Amino acid sequence: MSILEKEVTHLSVKEQAKAAQMASKTLAGLSEQEKNEALHILADELERQAAFILKENEKDLQNGREKDFTQAFMDRLSLSEERIADFAEGLRQVAGQNDPIGEIVSEWTLDNGMKVEQKRVPLGVIGMIYEARPNVTVDATGLALKSGNAIVLKGGSSALNSNKGIIRVIQQALSKTKIPSDAAQLIATTDRKASAELFTMKEHIDVLIPRGGGSLINTVVNEATVPVLETGVGNCHIYFDETADVNKALNILINAKTDRPAVCNAAETLIVHRNWLDANQQELERALKEQGITVHGDEHIVSTFSEALPATEQEWAEEFLSLSIAIKTVNSIDEAVEHIDRYGTKHSEAIVTEDARAAANFMNRVDAAAVYHNASTRFTDGSALGFGAEIGISTQKLHARGPMGLPALTTTKYCMTGDGQIR
Amino acid sequence: MSILEKEVTHLSVKEQAKAAQMASKTLAGLSEQEKNEALHILADELERQAAFILKENEKDLQNGREKDFTQAFMDRLSLSEERIADFAEGLRQVAGQNDPIGEIVSEWTLDNGMKVEQKRVPLGVIGMIYEARPNVTVDATGLALKSGNAIVLKGGSSALNSNKGIIRVIQQALSKTKIPSDAAQLIATTDRKASAELFTMKEHIDVLIPRGGGSLINTVVNEATVPVLETGVGNCHIYFDETADVNKALNILINAKTDRPAVCNAAETLIVHRNWLDANQQELERALKEQGITVHGDEHIVSTFSEALPATEQEWAEEFLSLSIAIKTVNSIDEAVEHIDRYGTKHSEAIVTEDARAAANFMNRVDAAAVYHNASTRFTDGSALGFGAEIGISTQKLHARGPMGLPALTTTKYCMTGDGQIR
């Protein structure tokens, strides 16, 4: 029986978190080269064991078919040789990114001669809570290990077999490297209570990163005593100001709405200045219709558009994640900012205008991780901004805001060197 | 009836938080000069109204005497003309510190011509939860306003009259400045449930900062859904390695233990290498005795010291905050690091050694905000390190670690300027 055929041993969540913490101490002391070598071995091993992973994935797909999951859900769950090769390529790219660990963030010497160095160090153990996408199992592990952190993964139950298969390959691969196998752990139970233990395990887990829909994220935020890095719900708005250029406006709107409607940086609501709308309504309607976009609007939109449904309170507040859009008419930037203050999720917000002062006013006042003047909200993304792979997009204000790359998985430590200094 | 005689209006906690949030939007747009002018007016007004504040403080002192509070407690609660002048001076110093708001943290241009600027902006509304010290009311307000944040204060009930007096003076002073009076709010109820509302008011409060003892901090961490910046419990250790220089070792220990025993960067436990102890026990005992320090020790200490009590599990784990010390003997750095891993609070830890490799080993492996080689833990302090005033010392890893000055009260925002860029 190969190691891959063995059952995942039945440790408790606490024992797994403790094992990850022990491993994190070794991992924190490894060099960049040792970590990179390990990531390459991991990548090679994933490709070599693709058939095993696909066999495990097929069990999840079979369950999914029996439970009649949606096509979109099955697409996210489904692996292939090619997707596994993409995972491996992602790990090799992370190996190529700069290692933030050991960086001297600042240094100075006090008058008394004591030297102060603020050094970048790993967080320790990352708890990653996510839904059905098995790619997160690989991506998050790669980013955690490169930044010197151990990781405890808790994926969705519908991908449990796939995740178990992937973690076995990862642990087997790690046993050939300087990184302890225990540095990547999967909580393989479907017991909701057992997994919720993670949320309060402050002595062993340094940060929780929930990735998925709003209800998953809210559950973690509400139950956790471990600090949380909130990611990703994006109820993003595009505001067409009075002086918006028609071509720029429609290009940006269509790109932000249709390029990938299901992602968090897609546009969900168009806010439009009444004067702009009066002049350009036909072109706007035509552009939306050409793309097959369904319009939900306020009273003015419903009464003037040839086809528009009244937008409900929920539709203003939540993501469509599909080819639907809500449209709100306003008479000023103030009204636009108020609407965003009320319904926005502090992710990405854009203004289209030819008036630089209006743009500055909007960008200063809107409270979001990313604000845009005359560009699509789709750029709020680690790779689009040149950060490399990201572990998620933070919509909170503490620690990291916007796309989170490797530095978001680090903290700092003040290291003081003296010669007997006292105060 | 002067404005100072009026009762604080009875708004709900939610209404106060909302008012602070409204005010924060105006405050975020003020210039450094406008904020500095306001801080100077605040300082002058506190001095001018000292008699009123002392009258209110006397009510708390009277209550305290009736309830037979400890002398140390009464000392912290007690104000004087001189202490109020110190508060005012603190505000003037904060006015003199650099304003972090508006700083461009990083900027670049994508190949498509879209410009990216990461700008420093205020957090928004800070919720400050603290115990009996009325100085926090002034200090925290000054730091919050300078960094463009509104603040909602919830102080201990034993200082309620003092805090009400101070906040009335602050709000009256703010009414003469560009900063809205609502930017500083005091929750004046003693209803535990009402104040706990603050902990979950995510839509109006951006961060909670608890300052005080371990139980206050734990309550906030356990109940909060608003992100928390944990501060300050310091169970700090000094480790005398085998090669520690006797003079440096004893100087550092005595300074860290006795300079201000009740503060969080004071030493609570000495860990001592057995070989060092065998050679220098008499000098160590004499130095401790001279300072009137009570020793609680492990078995070896109890059996060899002329006076030592056995240390309980609680004494290893908690702060004495007095002239007592726990002493643990070890046979290696590994044992010292293990003891700190088990009992430390990730605040400040020191090694005294003449062996640079031993120092590096200790400093790399100990997980704390500040690690010291041959210097006193007392330097973990904003003013000692040259940061200026601090809002607390973070013992957590996210967002800010160690002494937190003005930058810890900020976040960033990505501001993108394009010309119609789409993805």
pLDDT tens digits, B211-262: 888 888 889 988 999 999 988 789 999 999 999 999 999 999 999 999 999 8
C-beta separation of B121 from B411 below 8 A: yes
Whether B405 and chain A come into contact, CB under 8 Å, resolves to: no
Looking at residue A71, what is its pLDDT? 86
- With the CA atoms of B102, B106, B111 and B114 taken in that order, what torsion angle do they form, in degrees rounded to the nearest 10? -10
CB contact under 8 A, A398 and B416: no
C-beta separation of A172 from A53 below 8 A: no
CB contact under 8 A, A375 and B415: no
ipTM: 0.92
State yes or no: pLDDT of A7 exceeds 60. no
Whether A219 and chain B come into contact, CB under 8 Å, resolves to: no
Q: Where are the alpha helices (DSSP H) in A324-398?
A: 333-343, 356-365
Reported confidence tier of residue B8, pLDDT bands at 50, 70, 90: low
CB contact under 8 A, A252 and B385: no
Q: Where are the beta strands (DSSP E) in B222-313?
A: 236-240, 267-273, 294-297, 309-310
Whether B374 and chain A come into contact, CB under 8 Å, resolves to: yes
Looking at residue A1, what is its pLDDT? 39
Smallest Cβ distance to A378: which of B380, B413, B423? B423
State yes or no: pLDDT of A79 exceeds 80. yes
Q: Which chain B residues in 145-184 lie under 8 Å from chain A, judged by CB atoms?
A: none
Exposed, middle or buried, B308 (CB in 10 Å: 0-12/13-18/19+)?
buried
The answer to which of A310-314, A389-393, B144-148 has the lowest mean pLDDT is A389-393
State yes or no: pLDDT of B7 exceeds 60. no
Within 8 A of A221 by CB-CB distance, chain B residues are 225
Which residue is it, tokens 């508060």?
B87
Looking at residue A387, what is its pLDDT? 84
Share of chain A above pLDDT 70, in %: 98
State yes or no: pLDDT of A4 exceeds 70. no
Exposed, middle or buried, A244 (CB in 10 Å: 0-12/13-18/19+)?
buried
Nearest to A136 by CA among A79, A174, A62, A221: A79
Smallest Cβ distance to A384: which of B221, B222, B423? B423
Within 8 A of B386 by CB-CB distance, chain A residues are 108, 110
Mean pLDDT score of chain B:
94
A10 phi and psi angles, rounded to 5 deg? -95, 80
Between chain A and chain B, how many beta carbons pairs sit less than 8 Å apart? Answer: 185
State yes or no: pLDDT of B5 exceeds 70. no
Share of chain B above pLDDT 70, in %: 98
CB contact under 8 A, A413 and B368: yes
Length of chain B: 423
Whether A229 and chain B come into contact, CB under 8 Å, resolves to: yes
Both tokens assigned to B405: 């000055």
Reported confidence tier of residue B11, pLDDT bands at 50, 70, 90: confident
Whether A399 and chain B come into contact, CB under 8 Å, resolves to: yes
Whether A51 and chain B come into contact, CB under 8 Å, resolves to: no
Within 8 A of A417 by CB-CB distance, chain B residues are 359, 372-375
B173 phi and psi angles, rounded to 5 deg? -65, -40
State yes or no: pLDDT of B272 exceeds 90. yes
- Provide long-range contacts, Cβ within 8 A and 24+ apart, for A215-224: A216/A129, A216/A130, A216/A131, A220/A129, A221/B225, A222/B225, A223/A196, A223/A199, A224/A199, A224/A200
CB contact under 8 A, A421 and B108: no
Q: Bigger pLDDT: A413 or A191?
A: A413
CB contact under 8 A, B420 and A396: no
Looking at residue B41, what is its pLDDT? 98
Please calculate the CA angle A83-A87-A93 and round it to the nearest 5 degrees: 135
Within 8 A of A150 by CB-CB distance, chain B residues are none
- With the CA atoms of A39, A40, A41 and A43 taken in that order, what torsion angle do they form, in degrees rounded to the nearest 10? 90
Looking at residue A2, what is its pLDDT? 47
CB contact under 8 A, A368 and B396: no
Separation between Cα atoms, residue B126 and residue B228, nearest integer Å: 10
Interface test with A, best of B397, B401, B404, B410 (most A CBs within 10 A): B397
A77-81: average pLDDT: 95
Q: Which chain A residues in 251-270 lie under 8 Å from chain B, judged by CB atoms?
A: 251-252, 255-256, 259
Looking at residue A213, what is its pLDDT? 82
**Chain A: residue whose CA lies nearest to B369:** A413
Separation between Cα atoms, residue A160 and residue B221, nearest integer Å: 32
Whether A364 and chain B come into contact, CB under 8 Å, resolves to: yes
Whether B207 and chain A come into contact, CB under 8 Å, resolves to: yes
CB contact under 8 A, B417 and A359: yes
Both tokens assigned to A96: 């190529």
Smallest Cβ distance to A411: which of B256, B379, B397? B397
Looking at residue B286, what is its pLDDT? 98
- Beta strands A410-421 and A115-122 are antiparallel
Interface test with A, best of B251, B347, B423 (most A CBs within 10 A): B423
Smallest Cβ distance to B227: which of A396, A415, A421? A396
Reported confidence tier of residue B72, pLDDT bands at 50, 70, 90: confident
Domains located in chain B, CATH noted: 3-231+401-417 (3.40.605.10), 236-383 (3.40.309.10)
Q: What is the 3-state secondary structure (H, E, C) of B14-67?
A: HHHHHHHHHHHHHHHCCCHHHHHHHHHHHHHHHHHCHHHHHHHHHHHHHHHHHC
State yes or no: pLDDT of A375 exceeds 80. yes
CB contact under 8 A, B229 and A398: yes
Separation between Cα atoms, residue A13 and residue A197, nearest integer Å: 7
A139-157: average pLDDT: 96
Whether A248 and chain B come into contact, CB under 8 Å, resolves to: yes
State yes or no: pLDDT of A418 exceeds 50. yes
Whether B343 and chain A come into contact, CB under 8 Å, resolves to: no
How many helices (DSSP H) and strands (DSSP E) are in chain B?
15, 16
CB contact under 8 A, A123 and B375: no
Q: Bigger pLDDT: B144 or A11?
A: B144
Looking at residue B1, what is its pLDDT? 39
